[in-house]
Amino acid sequence: MSRSNDDWDELSERTRQRRKTRKKQNKRPMSLDDQADADFDEQHTSKFVEDLAGKNSSFNWMKDERNKRMFKKIENRIQGAMGTGTYDWVDRRTFDQVFDRLTLMSLYKMMNSGILDTLDFPIARGKEAHVFHGTDHDGQSVAVKIFHTSNAVFKNLMQYIEGDPRFGGLRRRHRDLVDIWVRKEHRNLTRLHRWGLPVPRPIAVQKNILVMEYLGSETQPSPKLRDVRIENPQPVFDEMLEFLAVSWQKADLVHGDFSPYNILWHNDAPIVIDVGQGVILHHPKAKEFLVRDVTRLVEWANKNGIDITLADAMYDVLEMDLSHVHRMEEE
């Protein structure tokens, strides 16, 4: 708790400093219209906070004045995630499930630091996380993956964390597992991206929030490979087979959950997502996960008319000539 209180004190102090600066810069009295708008915003925020706290005791913390001020500063910037969009599941349940106290604090930090400007609309949801379209302070689209902190899903994913020396001293409290999982996905994305592999570019991570490159149009994300009819599947298979080979031989990583469900079709090319399950080669189940990944790719290839066996595909992954593949310089 001491860490959380320190964080809130730091955020509150920064808020007070910015408020003082704005007051010095603008000493003119507000017009009647501006004052009416400000009063309406205050009433709207107070009512929203009171409704939340009244329905769910877990939101009582929002009644605290400094927490209410924090929420007011970001409320308009997360409106799309709270109740608008093209999905029928965008409603108060989404807010209750995703935006707890620590998540809102992490969003506040990201918005104050310039990493994130708005959270616009949801683009995907799963057992572990919701993904939202957002924008950075330059107006560029980003994907914001917010991992749930209130369920026990991550306890079933311990097999992907235990045995990974990158995450030693593991504590089994749920919140710790969530934070470790998010850092794990960020580091796996970074590793794969540095080898030039087709994955979303990682941008930032803060507790249970991962910000990365957005893949899609202004209104909807790119579709998954399983939902697309590929006219010529052979080049797609070849590229994904090389993805697995480079991951294994060069990046020393196994995806762990490779399938058409975790591949997006973006600009007529496959992009691999959801790499949180990825394990390094020294993980005790790395070879088992590799065989499973290659098996799923072969099954997709066979369904699309490609004549390839698991044995041949495994040989290619393990022995493919990758002399043309080089690690990218860090930015």
Q: 122-137: per-residue pLDDT in tens?
A: 888 887 888 999 999 9
- For residue 308 the two structure tokens come to 């390839």
Q: Is the per-residue pLDDT at 241 higher than 60?
A: yes
Mean per-residue pLDDT of the chain: 79
CATH 1.10.510.10 assigned to domain 225-319? The reply is yes
Instruction: Identify whether the C-beta of residue 65 lies closer than 8 Å to the C-beta of residue 45.
Output: no
Domain ranges of the chain: 36-71, 225-319
Confidence of residue 275 (pLDDT cuts 50, 70, 90): very high
Q: 47-72: per-residue pLDDT in tens?
A: 544 554 555 555 555 556 666 666 66
Query: Mean pLDDT throughout 189-198?
Result: 97
Q: With pLDDT > 90 as the criterion, what percentage of the chain qualifies?
A: 49
Closest CA to 124 of 151, 98, 150, 105: 98
Distance CA 151, CA 170 (A): 18
Instruction: Indicate the pTM of the whole model.
Output: 0.75
Distance CA 201, CA 186 (A): 9
Confidence of residue 170 (pLDDT cuts 50, 70, 90): low
In terms of C-beta density within 10 A (0-12 exposed, 13-18 middle, 19 or more buried), how is residue 98 classed? buried
Q: Which comes out higher in pLDDT, residue 15 or 220?
A: 220
153 CB-near residues (< 8 Å, 6+ apart): 127, 128
Strand-pairing partners, residue 253, are 280
State which of 17-21, 158-162, 275-279 shows the largest mean pLDDT.
275-279
Q: Is the per-residue pLDDT at 315 higher than 50?
A: yes
Q: Which comes out higher in pLDDT, residue 37 or 213?
A: 213
Q: 154-168: per-residue pLDDT in tens?
A: 556 666 666 666 665
Confidence of residue 103 (pLDDT cuts 50, 70, 90): confident
**Cα 235 to the center of its chain, rounded Å:** 29
Confidence of residue 100 (pLDDT cuts 50, 70, 90): confident
Distance CA 52, CA 58 (A): 9
Q: Which amino acid is at 278?
A: G
Predicted confidence at residue 74, as pLDDT, reads 72
Predicted confidence at residue 11, as pLDDT, reads 42
Instruction: Identify whether the C-beta of residue 209 lies closer than 8 Å to the C-beta of residue 106.
Output: yes
Strand-pairing partners, residue 144, are 132, 211
Predicted confidence at residue 226, as pLDDT, reads 96
The catalytic residue positions are 257, 274
